[in-house]
A and B are shown apart, each in its own frame.
Chain A
């Protein structure tokens, strides 16, 4: 398995500001992913982050709102830009190693509240 940490674990932010969430994996991984878990809803993939290339965004998510960086094989960041109360969610990072049947491992999540 992979051990994944996220910072911050939670934050309360004001409308219109931005927050950058960091995701660190304890070993090199091929793929990293960012998911959102809104209250009462299923986890939804925001984007897939490949090292050295642009992130691939899912329908309904755009780079201007959720810019992602992946500078190396163990680290990624997600920024939630120009926040509104609708962005209040748990944001989770996950990762997959080469091989292993595409099993994904998740970080502890970042609980974001926008006021």
Chain B
């Protein structure tokens, strides 16, 4: 059974700091990995999608990496801003036809001005 773990559960940093959020998964037979952002009381916003054949994806100040063999992904946020405060969720789709996203519990990020 695929399990996704995100560490830390919560993180508080001062504005301007670069930071890394971690995601690990137990079954390396994934089709892709997706990072989301969830603001309080809101739905999920897709940030980055990494296919299993890719090593990383970048969008603006965000960079996500994937090491499928070790079951790890990281989300790097450069020059953090208070507007980055949210819960960040990692999810994987397993190979084999099902499109079920298996989620971690998320990392709650607070960026202090």
Contact = CB atoms under 8 A, between A and B. Distances in A.
A12 interface: no
Interface residues of A, number: 27
B32 interface: yes
Interface stretch (B11-19, B73-81, B99-107): B99-107
Contact of B43 (A45, A48, A96, A107): A107
Contacts of B45: 106
Given A101-B49, A104-B34, A109 B43 contact: yes
A101 B32 contact: yes
Interface in A10-26: none
Given A42-B104, A45-B101, A103 B46 contact: yes
B61 interface: no
Given A42-B104, A48-B99, A108 B42 contact: yes
Contacts of A6: 43
Given A42-B102, A102-B99, A104-B101, 20 more contacts: A40-B105, A41-B105, A42-B4, A42-B104, A42-B105, A43-B89, A45-B100, A45-B101, A48-B98, A92-B44, A94-B44, A102-B31, A102-B32, A102-B93, A103-B32, A103-B46, A104-B99, A106-B44, A106-B45, A109-B42
- In the complex, the 8 A-B pairs of residues with the closest C-beta atoms, listed nearest first: A106-B44, A108-B43, A42-B103, A43-B103, A106-B43, A103-B49, A109-B43, A45-B100
Interface of B: 4, 31-32, 34, 36, 41-46, 49, 51, 89, 91, 93, 98-106
